[in-house]
Amino acid sequence: MSSVRGRALITGGAGFIGSHLSEALLAQGWQVTVIDNLSTGRYENIQHLSSEPHFKAVIDTITHEVVLDRLAGECDVIFHLAAAVGVELIVRDPVRVIETNVLGTHAVLQAAARYRKKVLLASTSEVYGKSNKVPFGEDDDRVLGPTTKARWSYSDSKAVDEFLGLAYHRQTGLPVVVFRLFNTIGPRQTGQYGMVVPRFVRQALSGGPITVYGDGSQSRCFCNVQDTVRALLQLVETPEAVGRVFNVGTVEEVTVLELAQRVWTGVESCAPTVKMPEPAGRMVFIPYDQAYEPGFEDMQRRVPDISRIKRLTGWEPRIPLQQTLEQVILDMLSRSATA
Ligand code: UDP
């Protein structure tokens, strides 16, 4: 009797990406239920959806078996985004990161298997580790550091999630799709857990300086969250995606130094009331040891090979970096105006 397109359960749905995914699914006629323990997600991210008739939020943890079991039984597909992310959090609290990622995904896959529900499992470009191959293809080898460096625990925790998801698919036929998110940015992302773009924007809006770690020659590709979400919508509707792994990201690459300059350019045009500091006061360079932990190893370049998802679904990112930076700047300005 229901006219909905499908029923989606989003774990971590009050997070940055989960909240955008909720909006996009609702706009396409899905019924959306979010489960989030608000550890890194925020209720404000989904508050505007609370009056939508096809939206429901459950504030609880995914390891609460009774609750997860009920929600898994009531949906058609699970987008599993709940995870502990952010390099800073990983270095500060590796126990929480490993337990959340491994036990949480185990709980989700078990519940999905009980009702034979499709799972779209979020992973990360961190699984490639410090391999210096450019770009990263889904079947490339992983290159990791020692277990004594907390940073690598995130990579391995998500790799275990991938192994488990693919094993469920292989052994039991559970429909599982793994997607590896590369750097994703957009409105609502918080810099609290180290993410560079919201940090740089906040720093610039407060008059600087922007904190560049290392010498700023390391590069990343920053994908607009709306493009990312569109990729997930296409993957969920593509039966041939099941049992496979997909990179999701953009190939527009910038160094962190250039990113800092671009943030200043964006602030100059979107926030003219911000007083631009002298060039010398715009950036400060902070050694990695100080920014993270002694011996911290950063990835010098991180570029996805997105030919697999493009070939299968036609998806490719559309929104250029400067436009996304302006969205982030305007979003942060509107938040500080209403705070
Ligand atoms: N970064 C930086 N200043 C900051 C935060 C991050 O220079 O205040 C750098 C960080 O060292 C990395 C890049 O920005 O080289 C991206 O960092 P983020 O934590 O956003 O993502 P990831 O390291 O996972 O790609």
What DSSP string runs through 252-315? -EEEHHHHHHHHHHHHHHH-TTSPPPPGGGSEEEE-HHHHS-TT----S---B--HHHHHHH--
pLDDT at position 77 is 98
Residue minimizing CA distance to atom 16 of ligand 1: 196
Residue 105 lies in a domain: yes
Could you give the number of structural domains in the chain?
1
Q: Which two tokens stand for residue 206?
A: 């407060």
Ligand 1, CB within 6 Å, residue ranges:
87, 183, 194-196, 199, 211-213, 218, 220, 256, 298, 302
In a domain, 59, yes or no: yes
Could you tell me if residue 71 is inside a domain? yes
Q: Return d(Cα 233, Cα 20) in angstroms, integer.
A: 12
Lowest mean pLDDT among 104-108, 200-204, 257-261, 331-335: 331-335
Q: What is the pLDDT of residue 166?
A: 98
In a domain, 64, yes or no: yes
Pocket test for ligand 1, best of 223, 256, 299 (most atoms within 8 A of CB): 256
Write down the pTM of the prediction: 0.96
What are the tens digits of pLDDT across the range 55-94? Answer: 999 999 999 999 999 999 999 999 999 998 877 788 889 9
The answer to whether residue 192 sits within a structural domain is: no
| Domain contains 329 | no
Position 90 scores a pLDDT of 86
Range of the domain at 130: 7-185+223-251+301-318
Distance 286 CA to ligand 1 centre (A): 12
Reply yes or no on whether the pLDDT at 192 is more than 90: no
Annotation marks residue 154 as catalytic: yes
Write the CATH number for 74. 3.40.50.720
Which residue's CA is the closest to the ligand 1 atom numbered 6? 196
For 34, phi then psi, to 5°, come to -110, 135
Distance CA 147, CA 300 (A): 20
Candidates 43, 115, 154, 292; catalytic one: 154
